[in-house]
Amino acid sequence: MMQAFEYIRPGDMASAVALVSGDPTAQYLAGGTTQIDLMLKDGVLEPERLVDITRLPLRGITRDGDVLRVGALATMEELAADATVAERLPFVREALLAGASPQLRNMATIGGNILQRTRCRYFRDPAVASCNKRVPGSGCAAVGGAARMHAILGASEHCIALHASDLCVPLVALDAVAHIQGPRARRSVPLTEFYLPPGDRPDVENVLEHGELVTGIEIPLLPAGTRSGYLKVRDRASYEFALTSAAVALAIGGGVITHARVALGGVGTIPWRAPQAEAVLRGVPVDAQTFRAAADAAIHDPFTVAGTAFKVELAKRTLVRILQTVAGGGSS
Amino acid sequence: MRVLSCLTLTAQCDGREVTTIEGLSREGGLHPVQEAFIRHDGFQCGYCTPGQIMSAVALLAEGRAGSDEEIREFMSGNICRCGAYPNIVAAIREAAGQ
Amino acid sequence: MTTTVAAALLLGPGVDRVDGRLKVTGAAHYPSDVSWPDMAHAALVRSTIAAGTIARLDTARAAAAPGVLAVITHQNAGRLHKAKRTLQQILYPPPPPPLQDAKISHHGQYVAMVVAETPQQAAAAARLVEVSYDRGQPVLTLEDAAAKPGSNPYLTDMKRGNVTAAMEAAEVTVEGTFTTPAQTHNPLGPFTTVARWDGGTLTVYDSTQNPFNVRAVLAASFGLAEENVRVLSPYVGGGFGAGLRSWPHSILAALAARTVKRPVRLSLTRPQMFTGIGQRPSTVQHLKIAATRDGKLVAIDHEGTSTASMAAAPPARKAPLQSLPPAPGDPYFPLTIGTTAAYACPNVTARDKRVRLNIPPIAMMRAPGEAEGNFALESLLDELSYELGMDPIELRLRNYAEVHPPTGLPWSSKALRECYQVGADRFGWARREPAVGAMRDGRWLVGYGVAGVTFTHYQARCQARATIRRDGTARVASGATDIGTGTYTVMTQLAAEVLGLGLDRVTFELGDTRLPRAPEAGGSGLTAALGSAVHNTCVALVQRFLALAAADSGSPLQGCAIEDVVASDGRLARGDDESRGQTYAEILERHGLDELTADGDSGPSRADTGVIVGSLVASRLGRFGRTLVGASHATVPAGAFGARFAEVRVDPELGALQIARIVSVTDGGRIINEKLARSQIIGGTVGGIGMAMFEQTISDPGSGRVANATLSDYLVAVNADVPDIDVAFVGEPDPGNPIGVKGVGEVGLAGIAAAIANAVHHATGRRIRSLPITIDQLL
């Protein structure tokens, strides 16, 4: 539970950015599915000032040539229902609909999805003293604890917190770009550079300065004829984060892979693009051994603890399966 | 549009129209989904029921009651610990058929 | 009018719930909806260690926080007394009075309470309470070297014959170790107590399945006479056994109200629902079964160990933990006793052990002991069937217990054979190809599994009251609860049936300790107990009307005994000439009465105790004991029986498991309302799917903190996990009580985990002996 806070709903972006940039105790509020959760349910965030950006003109999904421009306030359901996404980026739609629940998808924004915080129950329980993400230098209780929904790539004894977004997996595969508005300037950062692996600073998750606002993302469309698919593996049939997942896009000509995009979910401290897997796949004929080799390359040098060791093999098989599905012409 | 009230600050609803379970039925009558839930026993303790019904009404408006499989998937955001799921699906299937 | 139900009437009409309209319109009020004028709110502070003592408490910042009315700790809580030991308290032990000392015995134990004007202020201030501890060395798991198992904690260990000799001589033996994890009830309704003092009288709304137990505990805590405490529980947001015991938060809510001299509402947060209202224990079972080559069971040896908390542990003694006296700190939860009654096997030993750990308290959770014990027994029998090359149903039928195995006495009713037959037919068991992995559907392996269930009988004493008024309506009442099982509706039906009134003319009131005393909604025993009490009470009421008629020479009913009349449409008429009769209203008017009331009750569980005693006598005294018991000519009251069938799909590459369909057949005796009973079986099945596939309460090694204390992290089945469930009822009304009911509240869950695990084996060849069956076990 949180302390009393001030709630402000500015009508324009400049005011919003100024309010948060100028106040280290201020935070943005959009859909609220991460923010309110961490404030009210978990007691991890205690902003003194909450700046509601939901009335800012950051909605809308528009096709601009070979790029899809998505406003940061577009919701998961809106993006999943978009005609261009359905036609040219099916694995984005699959990833969106595999995530959360319909109610959450109506609330959750694309900007918020990209910025979601980890679900790690050591991070989310303030009674746990050792969490380098919450309290830098205090250690990582998850490593010696009951870890399972945790990362094996980009992980270390400092932090194994998973980035749990489904949407971000195809987005990094697509080299989507985040547009950012700061107090004085704008910039654009590809998602593959946006996230920072925890390293020895798990409290720093991305390149944003305090107060910088993600205003939208730009998604390059896959070339026409590229097949794509997203496979999410989890314990129960729905309404659960991934144990492992994979997003792949393949262009195949004459039985040979001419173009490959691969990214993994459920395993990375950040959304995990797998260029090593793409390198294995590019220019070779479609076959099971190639897929397995790509998977072996993708899950390279994992950091596992007892509870996450099973993910190594499962993640490889997940990738192999979705490659088979997509290459075979079906969807997952 | 169905949303979770527990993650929505009341202040955020300013200027918007909110319908809760109390607003579903008209003049003492029951909404067809409410009637279907009673008929098919789509609840036991009743605690999740307002949420199930609001979610089901939205599901029908979303056009997602085309099959049992679709109903199950798109109602999975509403947990029922009493386990009334098969009856919830039956109630929604009936309401969809009307 | 007959006073028992005609044997032909097995399935009663599927009447809609009488509280349905309230529930679908959000008008049913749960304790968290109760609001009294000037009500304040309480929030709890929990320990962050599992063993040790509070070294330092600093409440100054909390006390100074906005809206705070009081901060209560062991330093200022005052004395709270422990409830006396009664039979109820052995089954449902009271919690140790909270905030009485600095000792910590589990992670999440309450160490302070803040009372404030709003719930948010109370919760915010609670986070400002500073506590430091002298850490002890917690004992947290069964494997811990310091964990000391106590033998025969429930006094239910039994044996018959000579297991050792029979095992040695056996042609075929199979054995296995089975483990089940701790699980949490997680009713959706957060447990809430709203408390108000009026002078020396305490009134509470409480999330409970056992309001009279709460009343006793609250009365004892504050040194009140029980009639000065009133507990109300008209609607509960689910229980599943968590509401059978009383919990410290209820005592604390009353303490808060007394301290601030205002009504107080205290709702547990979801993480607190993992430490504050009990859990299913984790268990380890060793089971060995021996048989002849042609499938006759010759010996079963079943040992089961479960966990319990340190709460109210008796002081350390030299002798092993024999738990009578004092009462055990955790409830009756034997794992192995079911095995003694399930099959006709001449040599059986059943031994329970319990290990006390620094974990939160245990509470019965739907089919406690039975669910876990059944998983082990029915899985190992399945293994035996493969070892013998025999159909798993055939193996069970070959060892069918025609009489109650521990005593040799006849069952009151048993249609388990029909459960298998009807189930096999509806499931299409004949399509099963016996070889492992032989059935496929594309890349999916297909498996068929079956399990049988023999459930315990339980019926406690119950009272009820019935009144008919001048307007011809009836009000029937008892202090029981309806936790979603349909008590409101079923009791309305029973009363209406006996009194001959339309359903809309009868109101059933419950959930108030001012009403006649009722037992807990637990043990699958409430419908039998309360239904019988309602039946008897309504019969008594009709008899009172007939007594009035007997004194009235102008009454067409004069001289009629109850067998001579029929009741319908609010009118009593002569059975031999239905044109001659009087309405209840006419009789009341004739005698100048506004209403007529009768009190009634139903028999206690003497028969249940008799069975346990008889079984133990037979166990201790061998053949002589069985002769002694046989001479009693008693009948063993049977609980429900069932056969559970599951078809599963397994994707071997990804370890994915799906339940394709379930067929569940139950002999529950008379089914008063087919629709609601079906819902109970479905609900139990969903709980069984959760137990088999998803549910485990995970604790951090070392600290004992529950690591998955939210509904996001603790996985229960969601809608997409649950396939079509085909439910059927067989059997006949049971002669054990006037309404023929055996109870089906829990039996639906038992057997599901084994049926699924057996199906998984059939599909994959993997024998999973550890629940839940997760992906990593199937890869």
C421 exposure class (CB count in 10 Å sphere: 0-12, 13-18, 19+):
middle
For B69, name the nearest residue in chain C, comparing CA atoms only: C720
Mean pLDDT, residues C591-620: 86
Q: Give pLDDT, residue C324.
A: 40
C372 closest CA partner among C684, C14, C691: C691
Strand order in the sheet with C264-267: C68-73, C110-116, C40-46, C264-267, C192-198, C201-206, C229-232
Number of domains in chain B: 1
Question: What distance in Å separates the CA atoms of residue A312 and residue A293, rounded to the nearest whole number?
Answer: 14
pLDDT above 70: percentage of residues in chain B: 100
Residue with tokens 């009353």: C254
Per residue in C411-440, pLDDT tens? 999 999 999 999 999 999 999 999 999 999
Which ranges of C58-153 does DSSP label H, i.e. alpha helix?
A: 60-64, 87-91, 119-126
C383: annotated active-site residue: no
Query: Residue C545: pLDDT above 90?
Result: yes
Q: Which of A153-167, C23-37, C323-337 has the lowest mean pLDDT?
A: C323-337
Read off the pTM: 0.97
The DSSP bridge partners found for residue C43 are C114
User: Nearest by CB to A43, which of C127, C712, C720?
Assistant: C127
Instruction: Report the length, in residues, of chain A.
Output: 332
CB A162 within 8 A of CB A120: yes
Query: Residue C28: pLDDT above 70?
Result: yes
Q: Give pLDDT, residue C321.
A: 40
Q: Which of B52-56, C4-8, C556-560, C685-689 has the lowest mean pLDDT?
A: C4-8
Pairing of strands C229-232, C201-206: parallel
C212 closest CA partner among C245, C236, C238, C164: C245
Q: Could you tell me which residues come within 8 angstroms of residue C355 by beta carbon, excluding any fewer than 6 positions away?
A: C142, C147, C148, C149, C150, C305, C306, C307, C308
Instruction: Report the length, in residues, of chain B.
Output: 98
DSSP state of C505: G
Q: Give pLDDT, residue C622.
A: 81
Chain A residues with CB-CB distance to B70 below 8 A? none
A227-327: CATH, from 2.60.120.260, 3.30.390.50, 3.40.190.150, 1.25.40.10: 3.30.390.50
- Domain positions in chain A are 6-52, 227-327
The mean pLDDT value of chain C amounts to: 94
Q: Give pLDDT, residue C634.
A: 85
CB C189 within 8 A of CB B45: yes
Question: What is the band of C83 on the pLDDT scale with cuts at 50, 70, 90?
Answer: confident
C719 to B25: CB separation less than 8 angstroms, yes or no: no
For C268, the 3-state DSSP assignment is coil
Instruction: Collect the ranges in chain A with pLDDT lower than 70.
Output: 1-2, 330-332
Mean pLDDT, residues C199-223: 97
Backbone angles phi, psi at A284, to 5 degrees: -110, 160
Q: Give pLDDT, residue C605.
A: 64
Mean pLDDT, residues C338-360: 96
Question: What distance in Å separates the CA atoms of residue C441 and residue C419, rounded to the nearest whole number?
Answer: 28
CB C276 within 8 A of CB C107: no
Per residue in C288-322, pLDDT tens? 999 999 999 999 999 999 999 997 554 444 444 44
Chain B residues with CB-CB distance to A101 below 8 A? 76-78
The DSSP bridge partners found for residue C477 are C465, C509
Q: Give pLDDT, residue C99.
A: 98
With respect to residue B22, please indicate whether it lies within any of the assigned structural domains.
Answer: no
A36 to B8: CB separation less than 8 angstroms, yes or no: yes
Of C232 and C329, the one with more pLDDT: C232
Q: Which of C378, C520, C695, C746 is catalytic?
A: C746
For C23, name the nearest residue in chain B, comparing CA atoms only: B46
Instruction: Residue B83: give the domain boundaries.
Output: 48-98
User: Token digits for C32?
Assistant: 């968290």
With respect to residue B54, please indicate whether it lies within any of the assigned structural domains.
Answer: yes
A21 closest CA partner among A177, A208, A229: A208
Q: Give pLDDT, residue C90.
A: 77
Per residue in C368-381, pLDDT tens? 999 999 999 999 99
Question: What distance in Å separates the CA atoms of residue C755 and residue C762, rounded to the nearest whole number?
Answer: 10
Question: What is the band of C480 on the pLDDT scale with cuts at 50, 70, 90?
Answer: very high
With respect to residue B90, please indicate whether it lies within any of the assigned structural domains.
Answer: yes
The separation between the first and the last C-alpha atoms of chain B, rounded to the nearest angstrom, is 21
In chain B (98 residues long), the average pLDDT of successive 10-residue segments reads: 96 95 88 98 98 98 97 98 98 94
DSSP H or E stretch at residue C177: strand C172-180
Question: What residues 19-58 of chain A have any CB closer than 8 A to a CB of chain B?
Answer: 29, 32-33, 36-37, 40, 50, 52, 54
Q: Give pLDDT, residue C626.
A: 83
Backbone angles phi, psi at B21, to 5 degrees: -55, -35
User: Token digits for B15?
Assistant: 């200027």
C698 touches chain A (CB under 8 A): yes
R_g of chain B computed on alpha carbons: 13
A6-52: CATH, from 3.40.50.12160, 1.10.1660.10, 3.30.43.10, 1.25.40.850: 3.30.43.10
pLDDT above 90: percentage of residues in chain C: 87
Q: Give pLDDT, residue C313.
A: 53
Between chain A and chain C, how many beta carbons pairs sit less than 8 Å apart? 89
User: Residue B84: how many CB atoms within 10 A of its CB?
Assistant: 29
Chain C residues with CB-CB distance to B22 below 8 A? 25-26
User: Token digits for B68?
Assistant: 């049992």
User: Nearest by CB to A235, which of C126, C707, C715?
Assistant: C715
Question: What distance in Å separates the CA atoms of residue C503 and residue C518, rounded to the nearest whole number?
Answer: 22
Chain A residues with CB-CB distance to C127 below 8 A? 1, 43, 126
Q: Give pLDDT, residue C33.
A: 97
DSSP state of A118: P
User: Nearest by CB to A236, which of C655, C694, C701?
Assistant: C694
Which ranges of A191-260 does DSSP label H, i.e. alpha helix?
A: 191-194
With respect to residue B2, please indicate whether it lies within any of the assigned structural domains.
Answer: no
CB C540 within 8 A of CB C599: yes
Q: Could you tell me which residues come within 8 angstroms of residue C406 by beta carbon, excluding any fewer than 6 positions away?
A: C158, C160, C340, C341, C614, C615, C618, C619
Question: What distance in Å separates the CA atoms of residue C556 and residue C567, rounded to the nearest whole number?
Answer: 14
User: Nearest by CB to A238, which of B1, B2, B73?
Assistant: B73
Question: What is the band of C86 on the pLDDT scale with cuts at 50, 70, 90?
Answer: confident
Question: What distance in Å separates the CA atoms of residue C467 and residue C483, rounded to the nearest whole number?
Answer: 24
A102 to B58: CB separation less than 8 angstroms, yes or no: yes
Q: Give pLDDT, residue C631.
A: 83
C127 to A144: CB separation less than 8 angstroms, yes or no: no
Query: Residue C98: pLDDT above 90?
Result: yes
B44 to C484: CB separation less than 8 angstroms, yes or no: yes
User: Residue B11: how many CB atoms within 10 A of its CB?
Assistant: 12
With respect to residue B87, please indicate whether it lies within any of the assigned structural domains.
Answer: yes
Q: Give pLDDT, residue C611.
A: 80
The answer to whether A6-52 and A227-327 have equal CATH topology is no
CB A30 within 8 A of CB A114: no
C13 exposure class (CB count in 10 Å sphere: 0-12, 13-18, 19+):
exposed
> What letters, b where the CB count within 10 A reaches 16 and e where it falls short, cover C369-382?
bbbbbbbbbbbbbb
Q: Give pLDDT, residue C318.
A: 41
With respect to residue B62, please indicate whether it lies within any of the assigned structural domains.
Answer: yes
The alpha carbon torsion through A148, A149, A153, A158 (nearest 10 deg) reads: -80
Q: Give pLDDT, residue C330.
A: 78
For B11, name the nearest residue in chain A, comparing CA atoms only: A7
User: Residue C224: how many CB atoms within 10 A of its CB?
Assistant: 17
A1 to C120: CB separation less than 8 angstroms, yes or no: yes
B60 touches chain A (CB under 8 A): no
User: Token digits for C388?
Assistant: 């013998």
User: Nearest by CB to B3, which of A40, A107, A237?
Assistant: A107
With respect to residue B78, please indicate whether it lies within any of the assigned structural domains.
Answer: yes
C775 to A314: CB separation less than 8 angstroms, yes or no: yes
Q: Which amino acid makes up residue B14?
A: D
The percent helix, strand, coil of chain A (3-state, each to 5) is 30, 25, 45
Question: What is the band of C612 on the pLDDT scale with cuts at 50, 70, 90?
Answer: confident
Q: Could you tell me which residues come within 8 angstroms of residue C2 by beta carbon, excluding any fewer than 6 positions away?
A: C563
